Amino acid sequence: MDHLLVRAARGEPTERPPVWLMRQAGRHIPEYRELREEYSFLEAIKTPEIAEEITLLPWEYYRPDGVVMFSDILTVLEPLGFSYHIESGVGPVVENPVSGPDDVDRTFGNVAHELDYVGELLVRLNQRVGDETAVIGFAGGPFTLASYAVAGGPSRTNMPLRKLRAAHPEAFRTLLQSFTDIIKEYLAFQIGNGADVVQLFDTYAGTLTPEDYREFVLPLHQEIFEDLNAPSIVFVRRMNGRLDLLKESGADAVGLDWTVDIGEAREQLGDVPVQGNLDPSYLFGDQEFVREKTREIIEKAGPDGHILNLGHGVNKDTPVESVEAFVETAKEI
């Protein structure tokens, strides 16, 4: 029998909604914070033993239905010639961002070789978690990766990349295509090494106009999801109701942030499975509140084709007890 998470992503009947949380392996877990005193973020993700240990921390705490490999969307930057690190209090920093419209046609070597640490991590996870738990792989989407490559770091409005779209649309297109080419290979590599489900995080693409999204981003998402050999989930924040753009991506399931009503999303999307969408801040309420709001989402989403998750990543100060209450609520159904 396939994993509960795999069946839900395909819209097949499930006895209850599977549950996992974006950023479940991170700073809200005390052992993670301890490990990070010993290793930098990049050391941690590039050392398969350590990345395995971190990936399994939330599994030991909560037994979610999926473990998401401990890594980052930015790993593909290095094969494309960018150097980056994570600076505490700032976030990701790209040390040599795109220097101009002539610096966008990026090629890469052998992904399996350059990102071998990710393959090794997936193999290890498969040996550890057994049949009940799905191993979740992921990649950043082309727009979100290009956002870091152009801005050189986090950019709330993505103005640098949107300016490139306006002033040099062909360069913008070329850069997004370079990322798309590597994302396709990278996801196939992850699936080949044991990822049961993959999620594409094009978190920032909702900052484009719907016309630009349809012209520049949607065809790339379609290209990415076209030939994948595993169930897939697409996630973009702040789509302002344009769920049609996610549905048309060709992903098996559509991730929802907390700004959409999951019941209305179901009506718009028809039989396309959904993932989400508890507001991550709700985990700072008391446990009864967490349970009540989680049950509301499960009821609104209806049976089958629903993967319970947050609407975005777990916040770093989230109480462990709240995450427990969230996961248990799904398991009690």
What does the binding site for ligand CP3 look like in residue numbers (CB under 6 A)? 22-27, 36, 41, 68, 70-74, 86, 88, 91-92, 138, 144, 154, 201, 203, 313
CB of 204 to ligand CP3, least distance (A): 7
Does residue 148 have an active-site annotation? yes
Does residue 72 have an active-site annotation? yes
CA angle 212-92-38, nearest 5°? 155
Pick between residue 88 and residue 240 the one whose CB is nearest to ligand CP3.
88
Pick between residue 91 and residue 302 the one whose CB is nearest to ligand CP3.
91
CB of 23 to ligand CP3, least distance (A): 4
Does residue 84 have an active-site annotation? no
Per annotation, catalytic residue among 2, 10, 16, 36: 36
Task: Give the chain's length.
Answer: 333
Does residue 238 have an active-site annotation? no
Does residue 7 have an active-site annotation? no
Half-sphere exposure of 30 (CA within 13 A, CB side): 4
Pick between residue 93 and residue 272 the one whose CB is nearest to ligand CP3.
93
The residue type of 15 is: E
In whole angstroms, give the CA distance from residue 6 to residue 113. Answer: 28
Per annotation, catalytic residue among 10, 16, 23, 291: 23
Residue matched to tokens 């924040």: 237
Nearest to 146 by CA among 171, 116, 125, 175: 175
CB of 213 to ligand CP3, least distance (A): 17
Q: What is the DSSP code string of 203-215?
A: TTGGGS-HHHIII
Pick between residue 27 and residue 293 the one whose CB is nearest to ligand CP3.
27
| Beta pairing class for 274-278 and 253-255 | parallel
Catalytic residues: 23, 27, 36, 72, 148
